[in-house]
Structure 1
């Protein structure tokens, strides 16, 4: 107990905080960089690296480099094996690969967000389709109940709300009355009236 008390006293004397609390902050050796900005610039560079314009520029630089090192003997800064040119290509490849990977990660994030959005839209569309299917089924049921009125018990084919015409009497317009076919919905709705 005396050791911990003396340490606490020493630390308090030096102006430090308690030991059970984390240190408030560390000194940053590197500046903070916005990840979105780096990803956006990496994607821009990666897109440029994949264009024909970049390939044309790079081919032109290589041709000029080799031509100057072969044609002008006094200016040979990179003799025949072109080691400096290979070093430049290696450095370019070392930077291009991570930039392309960063751009692919950004594209994967966009694809993931798009897929999530598409799933949500598909779910809403499925719910709407199911709702409309139920509504259409309800309308068909209501329409079939309206087309074939209920039959009273003991009425033998007469609708509940009035008198029915006899089957040999044509309805106005030359068609048979749907309610006249002894309760059968398909017999009374086809064709013009036939003479009896």
Structure 2
């Protein structure tokens, strides 16, 4: 009685593994059976299977119609052949359905993985789009080489005009001015010496 309580207590403890219960049915690997069904379904869907099946059926019919009556094993309504074909169809249909279910499961997993990959790609694309838009906005505030060149040309023209105006004012006021300097400034402004 004390040993039964000890065994009962030992079974309810979590740190003691349970003994494996023996079943009358042998254990089978569902994946192995699924792989076998896929191989069978793959073979049943080939031209090779159709050719071999046609050859067997033609041989069966020719043998049982033209062979001597003592060697014929299936008479005209070919009941044994029909039984064999029915058994084949009875086993082939569930195997094909099992293979299709496994393929559907794989397709579902692949679609889920593709959907997640597409979501990541869309998120990355949106992030890069925002970054490019931000760079374009910031680039609008950055001075480009062409803009600096045009600003410098404008400033140079303005300086030349000031220098030319100052020389003209000096000439008007009677200050000593060099006529050559006035001509040089005028030439630079106009784009070349006057004839």
Q: TM-score, normalised on structure 2?
A: 0.65
Structure (1 or 2) with the larger CA radius of gyration: 2
Question: How many angstroms does 1:168 deviate by?
Answer: 8.9
Verify: 1:103 aligned to 2:91, yes or no: no
Take 1:166 and 1:50, find their aligned partners in 2: how far apart are those partners? 81
Aligned residue for 1:84?
80
Q: How many correspondences in the alignment?
A: 148
Verify: 1:68 aligned to 2:56, yes or no: no
Take 1:43 and 1:93, find their aligned partners in 2: how far apart are those partners? 16
Q: Which runs of 5+ in 1 are unaligned?
A: 1-8, 149-162, 171-194
Take 1:97 and 1:166, find their aligned partners in 2: how far apart are those partners? 87
Query: What is the alpha-carbon root mean square deviation over aligned residues?
Result: 3.2
Aligned residue for 2:135?
139
Aligned residue for 2:186?
none
| Structure holding more helix per residue | 2
Aligned residue for 2:165?
none
Q: Which runs of 5+ in 2 are unaligned?
A: 13-17, 145-150, 159-189
Where do 4+ consecutive residues of structure 1 move more than 2 Å?
Answer: 15-18, 23-27, 163-170
Aligned residue for 1:34?
29
Take 2:114 and 2:62, find their aligned partners in 1: how far apart are those partners? 55
Question: How many angstroms does 1:68 deviate by?
Answer: 1.0
Match of 2:115 among 111, 119, 123: 119
Question: How many angstroms does 1:41 deviate by?
Answer: 1.1
